[in-house]
């Protein structure tokens, strides 16, 4: 992208304060998109650690058959909050952090459209996180209902369920405010010449994700509120004895839940679509088709929710429809995978840490996508439903997809954010450890699922022992590898080598071409004029 002016992006200015705020109030009152992005990312990492500890408790219990470490109720609670915390507390905020940092810089805007609302969006998260963690300490312990919170389990669970419902409401409010902010920013604050079809793909993916969030968050809020009123106010939405329908909850939840998968995955696509061209030293292959494919995936995500509930009972015609509709998602996803590969084709490839994680994403997400296709087939899913095959599938999508993409993005933009380079050797070590241990942890779960091991159980039959032991070793290895990531980031911030202005020669979006490194406190007060 070429610009008429290349040197006007970094004069200091703030509508609200004229010096740089310092101390704790800098963070509490911040309306600066970069500060808020940083807070989102640190919050996300903190919750990643909390959710990760829960995962390690689960895997440690499953290291051997029999009950070794925790009681079944606590195990179920860990299953619930590991899922909720990882989805709502770790992965979603991580990509909102990226959005905050990058969208204004990539479109040539000085900040987000509603900076104060941006601040509030973030500061709603810590109380919600405290409610989710605090739920463990309620009488009866945390709610052992799974992240899906199916009725009637959730309508009969202890008081921890009420805290969980409240936390979800708060997280939903935060998401809706964030989405309105992102949509308005992308559509209203682009620099002159930055047409929609010139935007970096990351901005496109977030625009589409924000649409998805606005569409589905009221559905989740309604679902948990109906659970609440069934629990305390005598309604019978999901109570068959009172004329309600527990399967209705499943329909409502998955109408939210399936788009939620793409709410997580689509920004990950955006990050990878920035990283792969940069390290291939080529423009993204098929930019327009990438935009249309992303939009198609988002639209299709509303039409496939019932593939999560083939076994809940539905007419065969509905099963056929949902099977074919689900398989259809492979088409736009295939377009994206093809375009990423075509971008690399005959490129001048180098394999720095961000590129390694992007390639890890590409291989493992594609594998997760294939197992998704397997699960889309009704007769197969009837066999594999609620087995470890499903657990393996969604961890390949969520961890190898979203988390690897987030790591790729962090290593890619860390020099821009901090002005310092991370240790490349340690970064590569982090990648290889993560890749190996991730596969040790989750690949064997496919075999466990195919052999019939149910998910969400603290004990299992003896024939599953070996693969469970291997999976637990992999999980611990993967978890401990993330401490190396924390060390790398802290070392980079505190004493990394000074980053050059443009450490990645193939990076071509505005934050690399028009702003100094590190990115200044305020950027693009005067919009760049792009040709």
Partner 1 sequence: MVGTVIAHPVFGPILEQEGAGFTYFRRHAGSFELRTFTLVFGSLALLSLVIAGGFAAAGAWLIVPFAGLEIAALLTAAAVFLRRAGDFERVAVLGDRVVVEFRERGLAEKFEFHRGWARVVTGKSGMPALRSHGRTVEIGRYCGDEGRQMLARALHSRLGGHRT
For the annotated catalytic residues, the residue numbers are: 82, 111, 147, 174-175, 258, 260, 262, 273, 307-308, 333, 336, 455
- The residue range among 105-113, 144-152, 334-342, 405-413 that interacts with partner 1, by the rule CB under 8 A, is 105-113
| 410-444 burial: b if 16+ Cβ within 10 Å, else e | bbbbbbbbbbbbbbeebbbebbebbbebbbbbbbb
**232 is a contact residue toward partner 1 (CB under 8 A):** no
Spatial distance between the Cα atoms of 314 and 51, rounded to a whole number of angstroms: 34
Helices marked H in 281-348: 287-300, 316-328, 330-344
Structure tokens at 416: 């821009």
Measured between alpha carbons, how far apart are the two ends of the chain, in Å?
Answer: 7
- The residue range among 222-230, 425-433, 439-447, 461-469 that interacts with partner 1, by the rule CB under 8 A, is 222-230
- The residue range among 130-138, 155-163, 237-245, 310-318 that interacts with partner 1, by the rule CB under 8 A, is 237-245
Nearer to partner 1, 76 or 181 (CB): 181
| Best CA proximity match to 335, nearest among 289, 269, 373 | 289
Q: Could you give the maximum distance between any two Cα atoms of the chain, in Å?
A: 69
**Can you say how many angstroms the Cα of residue 349 is from the centroid of all Cα atoms in its chain?**
27
Nearer to partner 1, 386 or 525 (CB): 525
**187 is a contact residue toward partner 1 (CB under 8 A):** yes
Spatial distance between the Cα atoms of 528 and 515, rounded to a whole number of angstroms: 10
Backbone angles phi and psi of 303, in degrees to 5? -110, 10
Nearer to partner 1, 11 or 350 (CB): 11
Spatial distance between the Cα atoms of 327 and 415, rounded to a whole number of angstroms: 40
**242 is a contact residue toward partner 1 (CB under 8 A):** no
Helices marked H in 108-158: 115-123, 125-134, 153-156
Query: Residue 271 in contact with residue 279, Cβ under 8 Å?
Result: no
**29 is a contact residue toward partner 1 (CB under 8 A):** no
CB of 396 to partner 1, least distance (A): 29
**231 is a contact residue toward partner 1 (CB under 8 A):** no
Which residue in the set 49, 53, 219, 469 belongs to the binding site for partner 1 (CB under 8 A)?
219
Which residue in the set 53, 180, 312, 328 belongs to the binding site for partner 1 (CB under 8 A)?
180
- The residue range among 111-119, 338-346, 366-374, 410-418 that interacts with partner 1, by the rule CB under 8 A, is 111-119
**484 is a contact residue toward partner 1 (CB under 8 A):** no
**148 is a contact residue toward partner 1 (CB under 8 A):** no
**12 is a contact residue toward partner 1 (CB under 8 A):** yes
Residues contacting partner 1: total by CB under 8 A: 51
Spatial distance between the Cα atoms of 71 and 78, rounded to a whole number of angstroms: 11
- The residue range among 88-96, 245-253, 275-283, 444-452 that interacts with partner 1, by the rule CB under 8 A, is 245-253
Spatial distance between the Cα atoms of 377 and 323, rounded to a whole number of angstroms: 6
Task: Provide the binding-site residues for partner 1, judged by CB under 8 A.
Answer: 4-5, 7-8, 11-13, 15, 18, 109-110, 113-114, 117, 176-177, 180, 183-184, 187-192, 194, 211, 214-219, 221-223, 225-226, 229, 237, 244-245, 248, 251-252, 255, 522, 525-527, 529
């Amino acid at each position: 992208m070429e610009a008429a002016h290349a040197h006007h992006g970094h004069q200091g200015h703030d509508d609200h304060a004229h010096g740089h705020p310092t101390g704790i109030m800098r963070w509490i009152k911040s309306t600066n998109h970069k500060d808020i992005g940083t807070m989102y990312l640190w919050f996300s990492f903190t919750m990643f650690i909390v959710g990760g500890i829960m995962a390690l408790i689960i895997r440690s219990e499953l290291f051997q058959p029999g009950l070794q470490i925790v009681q079944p109720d606590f195990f179920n609670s860990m299953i619930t909050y590991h899922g909720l915390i990882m989805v709502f507390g770790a992965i979603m905020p991580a990509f909102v952090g990226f959005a905050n940092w990058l969208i204004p810089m990539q479109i040539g805007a000085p900040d987000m459209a509603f900076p104060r609302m941006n601040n509030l969006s973030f500061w709603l998260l810590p109380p919600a996180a405290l409610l989710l963690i605090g739920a463990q300490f309620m009488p009866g312990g945390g709610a052992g209902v799974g992240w899906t919170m199916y009725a009637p389990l959730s309508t009969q669970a202890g008081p921890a369920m009420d805290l969980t419902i409240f936390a979800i409401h708060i997280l939903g409010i935060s998401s809706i405010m964030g989405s309105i902010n992102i949509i308005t920013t992308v559509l209203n604050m682009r620099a002159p010449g930055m047409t929609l079809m010139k935007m970096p793909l990351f901005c496109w993916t977030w625009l589409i994700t924000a649409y998805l969030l606005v569409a589905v968050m009221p559905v989740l809020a309604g679902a948990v509120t109906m659970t609440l009123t069934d629990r305390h106010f005598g309604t019978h939405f999901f109570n068959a004895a009172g004329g309600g329908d527990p399967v209705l909850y499943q329909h409502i939840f998955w109408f939210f839940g399936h788009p939620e998968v793409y709410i997580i995955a689509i920004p990950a696509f955006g990050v990878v679509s920035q990283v792969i061209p940069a390290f291939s030293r080529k423009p993204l292959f098929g930019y327009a088709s990438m935009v249309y494919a992303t939009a198609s995936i988002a639209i299709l995500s509303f039409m496939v929710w019932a593939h999560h509930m083939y076994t809940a009972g539905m007419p065969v015609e509905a099963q056929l429809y949902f099977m074919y509709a689900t398989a259809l998602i492979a088409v736009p996803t295939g377009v994206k995978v093809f375009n990423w590969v075509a971008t690399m084709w005959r490129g001048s490839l180098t394999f720095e840490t961000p590129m390694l994680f992007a390639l890890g994403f590409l291989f493992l997400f594609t594998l997760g996508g294939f197992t998704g296709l397997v699960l889309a087939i009704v007769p197969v899913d009837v066999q594999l439903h609620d087995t470890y095959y499903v657990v393996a599938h969604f961890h390949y999508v969520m961890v190898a997809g979203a988390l690897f993409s987030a790591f790729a993005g962090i290593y890619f933009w860390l020099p821009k954010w901090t002005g310092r380079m991370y240790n490349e050797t340690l970064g590569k070590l982090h990648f290889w450890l993560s890749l190996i241990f991730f596969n040790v942890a989750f690949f064997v779960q496919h075999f466990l699922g195919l052999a019939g091991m149910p998910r969400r159980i603290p004990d299992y039959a003896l024939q599953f022992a070996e693969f469970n032991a291997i999976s637990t070793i992999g999980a611990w290895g993967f978890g401990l590898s993330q401490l190396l990531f924390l060390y790398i980031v802290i070392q980079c911030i505190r004493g990394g080598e000074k980053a050059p202005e443009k450490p990645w020669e193939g990076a071509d979006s505005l934050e690399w071409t028009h702003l100094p490194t590190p990115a200044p406190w305020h950027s693009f007060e005067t919009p760049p004029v792009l040709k």
